[in-house]
Amino acid sequence: MTVDPIIELHADISTPDPHQDVFFKKTLGFWIYLMTDCLIFATLFSAYAVLHTSTFGGPSSKDIYSLPRAFIETVCLLISSATWGLGILAVIRNHKKSALIWMAVAFICGATFVAMELTEFSGLVADGNSWRRSAFLSSFFALVGTHGLHVSIGLFWMIIVIGQLLFKGVTKETFSRLIIFSMFWHFLDLVWIFIFTFVYLMGVI
């Protein structure tokens, strides 16, 4: 008889075992990492708040921001986060094929987000509006670029966990890794909501 790995995971958690708290320790450790990431982004947001008016004769946010582009990027990242969540639900139901499909959609949307952001950055640099032009642009590239770097790393991580699910199936190990990655991916989604609101939306008003 085949045992559902998710049920087995919960059984291991509820059964006294020297290793039963490994998953919780990993989750707690990753929460601590996310808190340090919050401090990094809080610092970058603070720097942007102070420097966003320091254009030194260069373009302001109203001159370079494209709200429609930023909105499409936001939609892509939100869809990626939502479809990843649907993939996790499929994993919980032990529907491997459906999970892989949803996760592939999440990857495509995430990759589209990164591609659009790189296009935006290259366009700004080509127009002479690189991070060297003003303190405002330096803080913009630092904040948005750091988030984009996180998303890019997340895409590589996503390939790894999807590959483990593809070749190893739904096991306690693959499930726990998917959950930890989910925390990271949804965290980036939340950070981008703040960037879209604080940087782009308020920047064009």
Q: What is the 3-state secondary structure (H, E, C) of 37-80?
A: HHHHHHHHHHHHHHHCCCCCCCCCHHHHCCHHHHHHHHHHHHHH
pLDDT value at residue 171: 86
Q: What are the distances in angstroms from CA 20 to CA 23, 94, 133, 181?
A: 7, 22, 54, 20
* Span 123-151, pLDDT tens digits: 999 999 999 999 999 999 999 999 999 99
Contact 180, 25 (CB under 8 A): no
Q: What is the pLDDT of residue 6?
A: 56
Q: What is the share, in percent, of the chain residues with pLDDT greater than 70?
A: 90
pLDDT score for 87: 97
Mean pLDDT calculated for residue range 6-30: 62
Tell whether pTM > 0.85. yes
pLDDT surpasses 60 at 12: no
Question: Rounded to whole angstroms, how far apart are CA atoms 143 and 134?
Answer: 14
Structural domains of the chain in order of their starting residue, each with its CATH number:
5-9+22-203 (1.20.120.80)
Please tell me the predicted confidence (pLDDT) of residue 13: 42
Q: What is the pLDDT of residues 43-97, one digit of tens each?
A: 999 999 999 999 999 999 999 999 999 999 999 999 999 999 999 999 999 999 9
Q: Is 60 exceeded by the pLDDT of residue 121?
A: yes
The mean pLDDT value for 183-201 works out to 96
At residue 18, the pLDDT reads 46
Which sign does the torsion angle of CA 86, 152, 35, 69 carry?
A: negative
Percentage of the chain with pLDDT > 90? 80
* SS3 readout for 103-147: HHHHHHHHHHHHHHHHHHHHHHHHCCCCCCCCHHHHHHHHHHHHH
